[in-house]
Structure formats: structure tokens, C-alpha cells
Structure 1
Amino acid sequence: MSPLAPIKHALAAILAAAHDGLTALGADPAAGLTWLLCVAAVVVTLRLALLPIVVHGVRQAHAGARARPHLQELSSRLGTRPDRDSLRQHLEERRMVSAEHGVSRLGCLPVLLQLPVWLGLYHLISDVSSGTAVGAMGPALVSSLGAASVLGVTLAGSGYLGGGPAHLAVVAGLALTAATLSYVTQRYVVASNTLTEGLPEAMVAAQRIVPAVSALGLVMAGGVVPVALLAYWVCNSAWTLGQTAAIAHWFPTPGTPAHARRAARA
């Protein structure tokens, strides 16, 4: 059994429950719009469940920003060729500074715990779009999702070419929307709330090109993944943009351009 199987089954139960709920409210169980709303419901449910980890990440970013000047001072005092005793004392002082400012020893581990969840959701949407039953998403529901369509394009369909103008418009529109949301989030929101002072110039330059590379990757992937998966990417990217913008506006990391704008508004 795949390590992601329990996660996929749990998410499949949410997807099936969303479909049952919308159908009970009168939605067409076979309509493409109904299934798109189901995908959106799974994304919203998952993002709400992960909010505690997001809050932890924001607090750690603030703690790290407060501790950073003190840690840089310790590093400057250490020198370039420290002896063993100096290095041991330096590490102890770093631990004390981190503890004083609330920097967790776990670092970004809680944030990394999200990765299996997102991989599970990716594989779930991919599997059911290709006709594979997963847990509560049995053969009947999988068949319904695969046959559902948006503007005549099935949610199981993929590729830019071969399906006519409507197919190209839907697939390209979803892929470009997901790519644009991702680029705006990383280039204008995340970048403004990220500390770059003291980082090597090569790392700063790499951060500048990541948004474009990520967006290009989404556009290229849009030509091979199912339409249902593109819809998931759009929903998830839209949530990420809104959540990241809210954090940068209301809880910016100290020392960043976003924090300076927040201070100017106060």
C-alpha cells in the first residue's frame, strides 16, 4: 500500500461528501460545474484544516526576523577560523538567542508536513480523473467525474491540441490562470514579505527568477494533466494568493518591504 493511500482515502471521502451535499441541495450530479465546486470544496476544507500550520509558520518567520540581528552579530564575533571552544560557545549562544526570541528547534518541519497532504490531493485528483476508483470515490462517482464537462470539454480530458478551439480555450485558460496566480503570489506578495538582507546575491537573483520558472512549469504541465487537475490548481492558487496577501498586509515579517508599508499605514 502506498504511504499516501490513507491521505488519498481521507480526501476522497471529502470529495464524495461534497458531491453528495451539492446533489442534496439540487445540483446536477453529473454536471461539470458540480464537480468543479466539489474540487473547490476539498481545497477550502484542506486549507482551513492547515491554518494552524500556517499560523505557526508566520510566528516562526517573525521570531526569526527578531533573532536575525543578534545571530548576525554572533557570527561576526566568531571570526573565520574559530577554535573548538569558541565554536561550542557560539552554538550555545545561538541556542540561547533562538530560545529568547521563540525560534523553534523544529524549524520548518511543521510546514514540510503539509507536503504529503498536497501530494495525496494531487494523486487523488489525477487518479479519479483518469478513471481510477479511490476509497469513497467509487466507480460510479469516478465515471461521473470523468464524463462531466465544462464548455464541452470533459474534466478527464487533457492536452492543448486535438480537441478543437473550445478544448484549447478551456485548457489554456485554466493553465494560464493558475500560472498567473502563482506568478503574482511569488513575485509581488511573497517577495515583499521575505527578508533578503545579508543573503548572497546569487540566492537573491535565484529568488527573482523562481516565480517565472514556476509559472512556466504550470503552463507546460497544463498540456499533459487532466482538466480536473487544472481546476484544482486554479482553486489552490487563488486561495494561496489571498492567504499570502492577507498575511503580508496584516502580519508582515519585520524588516521586509511589506512590514515597512504596514508601519506607514499605522
Structure 2
Amino acid sequence: MDIIGTILWPIKWVIEAILVGFHTLLELLGMDPAAGLTWVLSIVGLVLIVRAALIPIFVRQIKSQRKMLEVAPQLKKIQDKYRGKKDQYSREAMQRETMEMYRKAGTSPFASCLPLLIQMPIFFSLFSVLNEAKPQPDGSFRAGVGLLSQELSEQFGSASLFGIAPLRFSIQSSLEQDPVNWTVIIIAAVMVILMTASQFITQLQIMSKNQSPEMMASPMFRQQRILLYILPLVFAFSGFAFPIGVMFYWLVSNFWTMGQQFLVIRNMPTPGSEAALAREARLAKKNRARMADDAQTLAEEQVAEIEQKKVTTQRQQPVGKNRSKKSGGGAKR
């Protein structure tokens, strides 16, 4: 086993355990254990477990982005201080002061990439598990490193989506088939388009709605704009070699990220951003509506109280003096 295999071994063990766990659950629910849909849903379950476990990291990422917003003016001062200076000493001094500023603020420009960096070993481990669950030269299947037995490995490696698109096939391997498996190519191409679009939308909503004026004026914003167009291209090119099963993980993970970012931008926007102004407007409208409801309820209660008093007054009519005397005189005779 090489160094990378040794590093990925424990991650592959955990991935196999989660996959087998969901596969067993789906089998108990009556699904065909050898069907491609069963294994696809097991991969979806893997995504849900992994992304749920990464929620604390994501919260840390949000806090780090807030701190980066706070230090943006200081970062600009350092850059202005060394603007136009190309000598080695000035570059080292600017780098040193920048890193010191990040240290004091308790943040780092790489913190925003932490969830993605953590997911990469998981992603490549799943790729390795699926790549190894394939027929050997003698036609047999090899068991995984953990709970993926030889029988389950054969099911996983032989599983096909809708019975026509093997999960272990990629666009590249499909082109090498004789005849060419166009079904896999079409499904994979659609998934690449969806992955690219979801990644672009996620980055675009961050860039357009969740940036303060200070962040938009910083060099980091320009770097994010570059990533806005580079990352989708990464999906487009990498989708050529990745199997369909791995692309399902990536696609569901992208949808999770897109929904997660939407909720964060709506409920916890960056102060001063367009999303923050929109949230303040929603809260103000909600408060006005609540105040109007409270005023209407109070008015209805007051009207009900007045009506109740009228009814009570009508029931308790006082007896006049003359009537009282007449009543008394008749009794005396």
C-alpha cells in the first residue's frame, strides 16, 4: 500500500461503514440490494452524514468570514503602505505584517476553504472505493478495507442506474467501450452541467448579495470573482474522468451547499451587505404587521368591553321613586 493509500485507509473504512449501513437499511425497507438506485441512495445518505458532521466547521467558516470583514480596512492600509514597492524586503515585510494581523484577529484567508479541503479526502476515498469495486482480471471482486464484503463489493461494482448506466463508469471509460456507452455519457454530461450550475449559483449569491462595500473594495473580492468562473470549469473537466457514483456524491453535496448558503445569507447575512439590508426590511415589515395586528386586537377587545357594559346596563334598570311609593301605599291599606 502506498503513502496515499495508507492515509486514506481509515477514511475509506468509515465511508464503507456508512455506505453499508444505509444499504442495509434500504434493503430492510424492501429495496433490491443489487439495484443501482439502492447504492445511489446509500451515497446520498453518505453525503447527508458527512455534511451534517461538517456543520460546526461551516459555522467556524462563517465566523472567520466575519473576522475577515473586520480586518479588511487594516489589510487595505498594509497594501497601500507597500504599494509600488517591488523589492524583496518590502514584499517580505508586507507578508509578515499581513500574517501578524491575521494572527491577532484569530482568522486566516484559508479558513473559508476549510470545508472543501476536509471533503477532498472523503471524495477521493469514495472514488477509490468505487474504483476498487470492479471485476479483477480473473472476473472476481475484491472486498473493501472494512465492512464492504466481497459480496457487497460485487453488488456495488456491478450496480447500474436504471439497469443501463453502471455506477463505476465515467465519460472516459464509456468512450473506451465497444460499442460506446452513450447512456452513461449523456447522464454524466447532465450531471456535470448541474454541478457546474449549482456551484456557479452558490458563488454568485455570495458575491452579489452577501458582500459589504468594504469587502467589495478588497483584493479578496477580486480573487473570489476569479474563483466564480474557475471552479465551474474544474467541475467540467474533472467530470470527464470521475465515475457516475462519485459524481452523485459531488452533485448532492453541491445542492446541500447551495441550500445552506441560501439559509445563511437570508438569516445571518454579512453586516452592511445587500442581504443584510433585505433582512432588516423584512424584519421591519414583520414588526409593522405585528403592531397592526396588536392594535386591531386591542381595538376589538375595547369594542367588546363597551358592548358588554351596554348589555349589563340594560339588564339592571333602576326602580323610580313614584313607583316605589305606590307599591308601598298599597301594602299599607
TM-score calculated relative to the size of structure 2: 0.64
1:63 to 57, 64, 67: 67
Q: Which residue of 2 aligns with 1:147?
A: 158
1:119 to 118, 124, 140: 124
Give the deviation of 1:157 after TM superposition. 2.4
Q: Structure 1 residues 204, 240: closer, same or farther in 2, change over 3 A?
A: closer
Q: Structure 1 residues 201, 117: closer, same or farther in 2, change over 3 A?
A: closer
Q: Which residue of 2 aligns with 1:189?
A: 205
Q: Which residue of 1 aligns with 2:307?
A: none
1:26 to 25, 30, 37: 30
Q: Structure 1 residues 242, 124: closer, same or farther in 2, change over 3 A?
A: farther
Q: Structure 1 residues 122, 190: closer, same or farther in 2, change over 3 A?
A: farther
Match for 2:151: what amino acid? A
Please identify, of 137-146 and 254-263, the stretch whose mean Cα deviation from structure 2 is larger: 254-263
- Contact conserved, 1:62 with 1:253, CA < 8 A, in 2? yes
- The runs of 5 or more residues in structure 2 that have no matched partner are 136-140, 284-333
Please identify, of 62-71 and 15-24, the stretch whose mean Cα deviation from structure 2 is larger: 62-71
Q: Does 1:251 align with 2:268?
A: yes
- Contact conserved, 1:13 with 1:137, CA < 8 A, in 2? yes
Q: Structure 1 residues 184, 132: closer, same or farther in 2, change over 3 A?
A: farther
Q: Which residue of 2 aligns with 1:216?
A: 236
- Contact conserved, 1:183 with 1:214, CA < 8 A, in 2? no
In the comparison of the two structures, how many residue pairs are matched?
256
Give the deviation of 1:26 after TM superposition. 1.3
Q: Give the distance between the partners of 1:125 and 1:260, measured in 2 at CA.
A: 46
- Contact conserved, 2:142 with 2:150, CA < 8 A, in 1? yes
Q: Which residue of 2 aligns with 1:242?
A: 259
Match for 1:206: what amino acid? I
Q: Which residue of 1 aligns with 2:57?
A: 53
Q: Give the distance between the partners of 1:118 and 1:164, measured in 2 at CA.
A: 25
Q: Give the distance between the partners of 2:197 and 2:77, measured in 1 at CA.
A: 40
Q: Give the distance between the partners of 2:79 and 2:193, measured in 1 at CA.
A: 45
- Contact conserved, 1:171 with 1:227, CA < 8 A, in 2? yes
Q: Does 1:6 align with 2:17?
A: no
Q: Which residue of 1 aligns with 2:194?
A: 177
Q: Does 1:138 align with 2:136?
A: no
Identity %: 25
Q: Give the distance between the partners of 1:107 and 1:113, measured in 2 at CA.
A: 12
Q: Give the distance between the partners of 2:60 and 2:156, measured in 1 at CA.
A: 36
1:212-250 Cα shifts (integer Å, max 9, x gaps): 4234324xx23x322212222221221121112222222
Q: Which residue of 2 aligns with 1:198?
A: 218
- The runs of 5 or more residues in structure 1 that have no matched partner are none
Match for 2:218: what amino acid? G
Q: Find the structure with the greater CA-based Rg.
A: 2
Q: Structure 1 residues 31, 52: closer, same or farther in 2, change over 3 A?
A: same
Give the deviation of 1:13 after TM superposition. 0.7
- Contact conserved, 1:155 with 1:227, CA < 8 A, in 2? yes
Q: Higher relative contact order at CA 8 Å, sep ≥6: structure 1 or structure 2?
A: 1
